[in-house]
Amino acid sequence: MVVGVLRVVLALPGNNSLKGKRKVVRSALDRVRARFNVAAAEVEYLDDWRRASLAFAVVSNDHSHANSMLDTIAGFVSTSVDAVVTDRALEIIPLGTMGGSGEDWGQS
């Protein structure tokens, strides 16, 4: 099993309030959740109306599937929100298996 995590930092040009930021962030998170069925949250810069940091997480049994899904989400965010992607980071974390292999969860 693997857990994939994607963090996308957005610049919000033309935005001048936290209310405007919330509108952009909520729209982006809702659209990604609905389309990809992933966990999504705003994780940094909560009081900065000029930028936002969004995180997305997936769980899969295949490293390449998790990577592909997060790459697709990154592309979707960059083309579908009223913001500019200024940074992105992707990490795939392998976790141990349950059952017959003798490995414990959390060990790899």
pLDDT by residue (tens digit) across 66-101?
Answer: 999 999 999 999 987 788 999 999 999 998 765 545
Residue 12 is assigned to a structural domain of this protein: yes
Residue 48 is assigned to a structural domain of this protein: yes
Position 12 pLDDT exceeds 70: yes
Nearest to 56 by CA among 9, 1, 95: 9
Residue 107 is assigned to a structural domain of this protein: no
pLDDT, position 80: 77
pLDDT, position 108: 46
User: Number of structural domains, the chain?
Assistant: 1
Total-model pTM? 0.83
pLDDT, position 92: 96
Residue 50 is assigned to a structural domain of this protein: yes
Residue 101 is assigned to a structural domain of this protein: no
Whole-Å CA distances, 21 to 11, 18, 54, 56, 58: 10, 5, 12, 18, 25
CB 52 within 8 A of CB 45: yes
Residue 68 is assigned to a structural domain of this protein: yes
The percent of residues in the chain predicted with pLDDT above 90, rounded, is 78
Q: Which CATH number is 87's domain given?
A: 3.30.70.1120
Q: Find the domain containing 59 and state its range.
A: 2-94
Q: What average pLDDT does the structure give for the chain?
A: 89
pLDDT, position 100: 47
